[in-house]
Structure 1
């Protein structure tokens, strides 16, 4: 019988391995960036548990926002990817479209009781379009 936790560990394993490959990070380099042994990092990629406190180190190595790994294990959406901005000390987060749309929908529902579902979806789509337009203009 497959448990919810094992499914979430498998989901994290799949996402972690794909992200490491996307970043072209060898296992040894990813583990070194995370400050853990390559065996511990490999456990994540094999769907095996590690200490909760170590998942933030995995997030750092994979350039995910803090809490992304634990969020996946909690059954939440995918990780939020980040990219360092050279020479600024800042990090830019890339929020998946579905996550952003979900946040807009929740905010609208919490603040308005007069919009229809169609209007809420249209507003969510419009916010996403506007943010893309602003980002492309930078």
Structure 2
């Protein structure tokens, strides 16, 4: 079992990676990020370096970066592997989890199937492509990926 200091260091490094990822997502340089968060540049640098700072600094970081309150503490306590943005998007190390707008997805899938079928199987008729698209939509509904048709 890892010692408490090893776990603390691991949590600080995880938060550092998430903060760095969010800064890159916002297209900010470190100095700009510090200004957005209303913290000193060296203090911001410490966060991305995996060093501990005051709880009030993490609060400023959450406000400046649009993170839900308490996200940093949850990562530092080992209670979370991610930070959550105000819009509900969840940042995980190396990626993000976003809520999918199933209405947009439902609207876009038939068009994507049609374009793909025309490229891959140009011999298909328009009716065959439409049938294929309907079958794809039905399968996605059956799997629970899309809501049932109205």
TM range (shorter): 0.5 to 0.7
Query: Which residue number corresponds to residue 70 of structure 2?
Result: 67
Gaps of 5+ in 1: 83-91, 101-127
Q: In the TM superposition, what is the alpha-carbon distance from 1:134 to its structure 2 partner? A: 5.7
Query: Hey, what's the Cα distance between the residues in 1 that align with 2:59 and 2:104?
Result: 28
What's the RMSD between the two structures over aligned residues? 2.6
Query: Which residue number corresponds to residue 85 of structure 1?
Result: none
Q: In the TM superposition, what is the alpha-carbon distance from 1:28 to its structure 2 partner? A: 1.5
Gaps of 5+ in 2: 92-96, 107-150
Please state whether the residue corresponding to 1:24 is helix, strand or coil. Answer: coil
User: Does residue 102 of structure 2 align to residue 133 of structure 1?
Assistant: yes
Please state whether the residue corresponding to 1:47 is helix, strand or coil. Answer: coil
Q: How many residues align?
A: 97
Alignment partner for residue 94 of structure 1, among 71, 89, 94? 89
Alignment partner for residue 26 of structure 2, among 23, 26, 30? 23
Q: In the TM superposition, what is the alpha-carbon distance from 1:70 to its structure 2 partner? A: 0.9
TM-score by length of 1: 0.60
Query: Which residue number corresponds to residue 81 of structure 2?
Result: 77
Maintained 8 Å contact 1:55/1:69? yes
Alignment partner for residue 8 of structure 2, among 2, 5, 8? 5
Please state whether the residue corresponding to 2:36 is helix, strand or coil. Answer: helix
Change (3 A) 1:52 1:19: same
Q: In the TM superposition, what is the alpha-carbon distance from 1:135 to its structure 2 partner? A: 7.5
Maintained 8 Å contact 1:33/1:60? no
Maintained 8 Å contact 1:35/1:57? yes
Query: Which residue number corresponds to residue 36 of structure 1?
Result: 39
Q: In the TM superposition, what is the alpha-carbon distance from 1:74 to its structure 2 partner? A: 1.0
Kindly name which structure, 1 or 2, has the bigger radius of gyration based on alpha carbons. 2
